[in-house]
Structure 1
Amino acid sequence: MGNISYQYYFIPIQNMKNKILLLLIFSVFIGFVQAQQIKWSKDGNAYTRVENGEIVSYSLPSQQKTVLITKTQLTPKGAEKPLGVRNYILSDDGSKLLIYTNSQRVWRYETRGDYWVLNLKTNALSQLGIGKPASSLMFAKFSPDGSKVAYVSEHNVFVEDLATHKIKALTTNGTRRMINGTFDWVYEEEFACRDGFRWSPDGKSIAFWQIDATKIRDFLMINNTDSIYSFNVPVEYPKVGESPSPYKILVANVATGKTLKMNIEGDPQQTYVPRMEWIPNTNEIIVQQLNRKQNQSKIIICQALTGTTKTIQTETDEAWIDTKERWADSPEGWEWIKGGKEFLWVSEKDGWRHIYKMDLTGKETLLTKGEYDIVHISLIDEANGYVYFTGSPQNALQNYLFKIKLDGSSSMQPVAENAPKGTNTYSISPNGKFARHSFSSANIPNMTEWINLTEHSPLTEKESITKKLSTLEINKRVEFFKVKTDDGIDIEGWMVKPVNFDSTKRYPIVFNVYGEPAAATVLDTYGTGFNGLYNGDMAKDGYIYASVDNRGTPLPRGRAWRKAIYRKIGIVNIRDQAMAVKKIREWGFVDTTRVAVHGWSGGGSSTLNLLFQYPQYYQTGIAVAAVGNQLCYDNIYQERYMGLPQENREDFVNGSPITHAKNLKGNLLYIHGTGDDNVHYQNAEMLLNELIKHNRQFQFMPYPNRSHGIYEGEGTRKHLNTLFTNYLKQNCPPGAK
């Protein structure tokens, strides 16, 4: 649930929130992806990446390779091996390289580690933060002039002078629950906020968040496996209905170390600030503030020298307002144009997710006009007067690249008139000349080509996606379909039929479900139709495997589709799923006595609700890491989509699986990790108690000290897959009848 909605098979590639995660071992996979990422040169005519332990550059369009940083340069004095480069940043003047290595996991991502600086003029390699614990530095970044590096360590913000390596603490009050320069658990999970400080344009100040998690209660997980005596693992976790951790936006003077608080209006324990950046070439800061319900957004400008503020724009919504991580790669950065006098903003205020241009007085101009959603802003090409974005007006399951003029004088234009049908994603050079284009569909594995973006033509004929597709023999194993429910709702889905399918026979059908606002399962991208929890091939074994997406999932089908679920999670989404399955059960080749459903996290919650609320349609369910009681989940996610339980508690109760557990008639396998910091194990025990109370028989598998992804520990994934497969085969036997 929340920001990382654990699914387990594939990634739609727009942004990490709108993705269904290819996730057997999440952090390992993310590490691999990050290692493969490219970094564009400033002029956009080359890109760099880590390759075979070195940093190399490729010039475009020739793809001429040059080794920029050798293994020798990356080897510390006296060391036998070079540093393993997890990430790297070049200083603005190109004279120094900041290297991130020895990374360690913090909740979801490996965001703390060691940092080194390589002086490219002298080849001197020096470690930062000497004297601080190993792998304790976070989010290190150069000052604008490259003379210093700031970082967070153990919840305090530090600045290190690169000439003297003298370290200055800008904060000293940091603790596990007084957090400077980064965030508490729930900000990270639900707003994707991790890096919590910013250098000023002149390099004289640093603005940062301070999160006071002392104001909220710890949730205590219990570790029974790592020592003879058990111990608590505390998480600063505000449950739904509990006030958020109050924040401050502070500005520290690097020279004096003095800090000044920005006087942002509103109660900091009843509001959120998910975005904060400096306005270019000024001493001003711009922030986005959300109210507790997240249905009012304010854009506020702060004077960093005085702390005074003014609100330039206020937006409201009857449901909720999404933040930047819905339509960009991360919540960081601000989309500036005209040297900081204007910026781009995204809103659903007219019923569709559109791009607006806004100046510093709050005056807006709508750029993307029409009944369609933008999905992802890919590039602002100010020099040529365009903004590039992805979307899919004709088919919400697919993704294509478009551009529109920054002055608002044109309608959207497809960048490739004959783009292949499916999911197209792009990494575009800063000058708008080149791009790495990736394509896949449900039936076509991922292909990549380097292109001249203006003509959308491959740089070499050999890597042309069009050429590859012309000779490819496509196995159309995944079929898409639509059904109209008795409520008049058009539901889209996919299915994979058994090998040697015979329409005169009846087959068991297994549904994968998610069903909440964090993810969609029905997308025309490769990985659709695969089940990473099943040992073997479901189609060869004689199953129909399928999925449908209900209202409330984040498809680009307009605001009304996405927000129909407001205050009705566990009700609207569950009915849409069940009513679609009701229609599918009418297909002559579906064995209505063998219908199963499974899901993880929010999908686990949906699985439980489907079994409990619509037992006439499903005989078997396998639910993993589910929220059994909505009152047990975190405040940012649950209040965003459900409101405040102090005002409409009945909606939380009505949408919770435990409320309907007494109706269980079929076969239920429930699985949960006892060390789950996201969806706490207490959900499992509350659900079990309710099932026991009503003498409902079920099977249960707790995984000791495993987190939400249930992958830690030797043999865990093999055991989980075997358990899943055996239970499904036993209770929903495969094969035609």
Structure 2
Amino acid sequence: MTYTKQLLLVCFISGLFATAQNKKFSLEAIWSGNFRTERLDALHSMNNGKQYSVLNFDRASGTTQIDVYDYKTSNKNKTLVNAANLEGLDRFSDYTFSADETQILLATEVTPIFRRSTLGKYYVYNLNTNVLELVAVEKIQEPTFSPDGTKIAYGYQNNLFVKDLQTGVTQQITFDGEKNKIINGITDWVYEEEFAFVRAFEWNAASNKIAFIRFDETEVPEFSMDVYGTDLYQTQHVFKYPKAGEANAKVSLHIYDVAANTTQDVEFNYADSDLYIPRLTWTNNPDLLSAQVMKRHQNELDLWLVNAASNQSQIILKERDSAYIDVTDNLTFLKDNSFIWTSEKDGFNHIYHYSKEGELISQVTKGNWEVTNYYGFDDKHNTIFYQSTENGSINRDVYAIKLNGRNKTRLTTDTGTNSAAFSADFTYFINTYSSVSTPPVYTLHYAKNGKEIKRIKDNAKLQEKLADYQMAEKQFSTIHVNGNDLNMWMVKPPNFDATKTYPLFMYQYSGPGSQSVANSWHAANDYWYQLLAQKGYIVVCIDGRGTGYKGADFKKVTQNELGKYEVADQIEAARKLGAQAYIDAARIGIWGWSYGGFMSSNALLKGNDVFKMAIAVAPVTSWRFYDTIYTERYMTTPQENPSGYDDNSPINHVDKLKGDYLLIHGTGDDNVHVQNTMRMVEALVQANKQFEWMIYPDKNHGIYGGNTRLHLYTKMTNFIDRTLGN
């Protein structure tokens, strides 16, 4: 080969390499799922503690199956059930084992109702007999095995039913359920959204009693949404939605005796009947039920023990706070019925151990950091496993600690976000690790010391794909604003030149207890921020006061005045960043979704000398329009705190609009109603303020489906280019 040919070949290869390294992101690539990560779906630790099961989907055949793997070797041991071998069942989307793992509940034809609730057809597959049985002909809610595996309880049309799997007989146990009036055993809209659960019934350990919550929605005001669909006439979706200060559902607690076919009512001796029952948990004693009961202001929480045999109740623990109390999911009753509890009572979220009478035995964890997840208690080794922010508020690590608070061991070593799934006997755990530079990696570890045994799955293919792209580093730091060091990340254009000036585009959510600045792998928006950086924007996110994982005082400073301190922090941070030589202070924008849309609207209006533009997606524009549980937790009621509701609501500051404003909402948003945007639009019109807006018909709070996300982000990108670009 001649020198000239060699030179041409080298130049050609170098050109290809340079091109590969400079591939740019596109909206089409981002929203087509090109950068989706691989996961371990529906992982379940088997009772023997040596194996785990995973739901696998065969794209070629379109069927699903449950495969069992060995923890130590990661080898597949067997397939428990394959939809291809089940007559009349092509696939299933989820599964649940009976306690003895001889039966599997398979979910099919699942359709969403609201954020967490679904309807579906469910089958029980018996691994001993290979028999597949339909639980009910109708689509049902929350089917749940009894602990002995002989029965399934479920909800249907606001009533509860119990099916005997041995006889095939179904018994209806409540009869007064009626749409928009009475719900038995399934939560109403506001409980589902704000207390984050749907199944409001629980089996006891002996499988002979079911505790359930009854919701009387009769006096709750109705909200209606037009559903435009494709027919000639639109339909209307009407449901009960208690807005701040309005009537809640009246809740009551009941215990059904399966053998006697009788139901007893549980009485709580409160003078005020306006209560919440956000959690039910049976103790190891099949006659003792625990119930967490909160006053409407949510600054008082009582843990009750209810004796189903004597129908007597007592409070064994009281939590009080000047602001609010977060409901705990971590209540764990030990063999002696002492219990583990998490609380912020010392200023940070920590683990506590109480006697069965509710006397404090010990505070298990302590320090100026937060316990962010409780994984469970290993009674064989007297050890608690948990996740925390001890390695910095933007990171997560997994720890083990003795019940008495001694011998604390950090089980994960890589800095970033670590999350554990433990085997049933706490011999092993599968760690999911990611960071801003590492996509999710799944590794197997010994629980006793955290030693890694092997890598199960990673996202090396995704990393290889991204190696071809022009990726800018997401840089973590803090910014000192209004007396606080606030967590911040920044993405600069790939070929950043400090002698040039760039427009600044800020993202935030900022809701109470939230976190947007975290050392974890990218979500879809992060690729969008890379696209914007490639266009020449500096993108920044700052977690201001009111956000989480830095202690209760930092989080609860916004109490009774949502939108005051959080907005002040974003405005001042933008002003401070705008003073940097490489940022064009005349071209600063901000955006957010939901609470973030409330924030971006306020920032543009109150900070009209700082922000040139804002995008608000599905924003709250007045807290008077939002639900009771969330809003009153932070604001009390509008009747008690009118100025808190009105002084910081964007709808009351439209006269301050100077910059460019894009308002976006879905008409099918059952959470933050499109009413917020409609009222904001009317206020802007009457103030003679020009703005842009986009409505997505029948789309809910997530605004997705088909090409919707691509259209939405194209709309926003074009708006950014037009208002902040050169």
Both proteins in one fold, TM over 0.5: yes
Per-residue deviation, 1:620:
0.7
1:725 aligned to 2:725? no
Q: Relative contact order (C-alpha < 8 Å, sep 6+): which is higher? A: 1
Task: Pick one of 482, 489, 505 that aligns with 1:510.
Answer: 505
1:58 aligned to 2:57? no
Seen in structure 2, the aligned counterparts of structure 1 residues 230 and 55 have a Cα distance that, compared at 3 Å, is closer
Per-residue deviation, 1:94:
3.3
Partner of 2:707: 715
Residue by residue over 1:46-67, the C-alpha shift from the partner in whole angstroms, topping out at 9 and shown as x without a partner, is 1011224221111221223122
Q: Does the Cα contact within 8 Å between 1:220 and 1:232 map onto a contact in 2?
A: yes
Residue by residue over 1:154-208, the C-alpha shift from the partner in whole angstroms, topping out at 9 and shown as x without a partner, is 1111111112211100011112221111111000000002111111221112111
Q: Does the Cα contact within 8 Å between 2:612 and 2:660 map onto a contact in 1?
A: yes
1:189 aligned to 2:193? yes
Per-residue deviation, 1:412:
3.6
In 2, Cα distance between the equivalents of 1:457 and 1:411?
A: 16
1:100 aligned to 2:104? no
Seen in structure 2, the aligned counterparts of structure 1 residues 144 and 221 have a Cα distance that, compared at 3 Å, is same
Per-residue deviation, 1:93:
3.1
Q: Does the Cα contact within 8 Å between 1:533 and 1:720 map onto a contact in 2?
A: no
Q: Does the Cα contact within 8 Å between 1:491 and 1:580 map onto a contact in 2?
A: no
Taking the TM superposition and a 5 Å limit, the aligned residue runs for 1:127-138 are 127-130=134-137, 133=138, 136-138=139-141
In 2, Cα distance between the equivalents of 1:360 and 1:462?
A: 41
Per-residue deviation, 1:265:
2.6
Which amino acid letter does the alignment assign opposite residue 56 of structure 1?
D
In 2, Cα distance between the equivalents of 1:340 and 1:674?
A: 52
Count of residue pairs brought into register by the alignment: 682
Task: Pick one of 233, 236, 241 that aligns with 2:240.
Answer: 236
Per-residue deviation, 1:404:
1.5
Unaligned 5+ residue runs, structure 1?
A: 1-22, 329-333
Scaled by the length of structure 1, the TM-score of the pair is 0.88
Per-residue deviation, 1:342:
1.0
Per-residue deviation, 1:226:
4.1
Taking the TM superposition and a 5 Å limit, the aligned residue runs for 1:253-402 are 253-266=257-270, 269-324=273-328, 334-337=331-334, 339-364=335-360, 365-402=362-399
Taking the TM superposition and a 5 Å limit, the aligned residue runs for 1:226-625 are 226-266=230-270, 269-324=273-328, 334-337=331-334, 339-364=335-360, 365-408=362-405, 410=406, 412-416=408-412, 419-460=413-454, 477-485=473-481, 487-517=482-512, 519-527=514-522, 530-531=525-526, 537-554=531-548, 556-625=549-618
1:647 aligned to 2:640? yes
In 2, Cα distance between the equivalents of 1:83 and 1:230?
A: 34
In 1, Cα distance between the equivalents of 2:633 and 2:615?
A: 27
Scaled by the length of structure 2, the TM-score of the pair is 0.89
Which amino acid letter does the alignment assign opposite residue 164 of structure 1?
T
Partner of 1:159: 162
Q: Does the Cα contact within 8 Å between 1:495 and 1:529 map onto a contact in 2?
A: no
Unaligned 5+ residue runs, structure 2?
A: 1-29, 59-63
In 2, Cα distance between the equivalents of 1:256 and 1:716?
A: 53
Partner of 1:661: 654
In 2, Cα distance between the equivalents of 1:308 and 1:459?
A: 50
Seen in structure 2, the aligned counterparts of structure 1 residues 54 and 644 have a Cα distance that, compared at 3 Å, is same
Q: Does the Cα contact within 8 Å between 2:431 and 2:443 map onto a contact in 1?
A: yes
Per-residue deviation, 1:706:
1.2
In 2, Cα distance between the equivalents of 1:55 and 1:499?
A: 44
Q: Which moved more, 1:187-196 or 1:511-520?
A: 511-520
Seen in structure 2, the aligned counterparts of structure 1 residues 191 and 463 have a Cα distance that, compared at 3 Å, is closer
Which amino acid letter does the alignment assign opposite residue 54 of structure 2?
R
Partner of 1:16: none
Aligned to 1:274, what secondary structure does the other structure show?
Answer: strand
Partner of 2:670: 677
In 1, Cα distance between the equivalents of 2:419 and 2:453?
A: 17
Aligned to 1:686, what secondary structure does the other structure show?
Answer: helix
Per-residue deviation, 1:224:
3.3
Q: Does the Cα contact within 8 Å between 1:570 and 1:656 map onto a contact in 2?
A: yes
Q: Does the Cα contact within 8 Å between 1:74 and 1:125 map onto a contact in 2?
A: no
Q: Does the Cα contact within 8 Å between 1:245 and 1:269 map onto a contact in 2?
A: no
Per-residue deviation, 1:575:
0.6
Partner of 2:176: 173
Per-residue deviation, 1:677:
0.5
Aligned-CA RMSD value: 2.6
Partner of 1:88: 95
In 1, Cα distance between the equivalents of 2:623 and 2:721?
A: 31
Greater C-alpha Rg? 2
Q: Does the Cα contact within 8 Å between 1:113 and 1:138 map onto a contact in 2?
A: yes
Identity %: 30
In 2, Cα distance between the equivalents of 1:232 and 1:323?
A: 34
Q: Does the Cα contact within 8 Å between 1:148 and 1:161 map onto a contact in 2?
A: yes
Seen in structure 2, the aligned counterparts of structure 1 residues 705 and 537 have a Cα distance that, compared at 3 Å, is same
Aligned to 2:176, what secondary structure does the other structure show?
Answer: coil
Which amino acid letter does the alignment assign opposite residue 140 of structure 2?
L
Which amino acid letter does the alignment assign opposite residue 89 of structure 1?
T
Partner of 1:43: 48
Per-residue deviation, 1:617:
1.0
Q: Which moved more, 1:540-549 or 1:577-586?
A: 577-586
Per-residue deviation, 1:390:
1.1
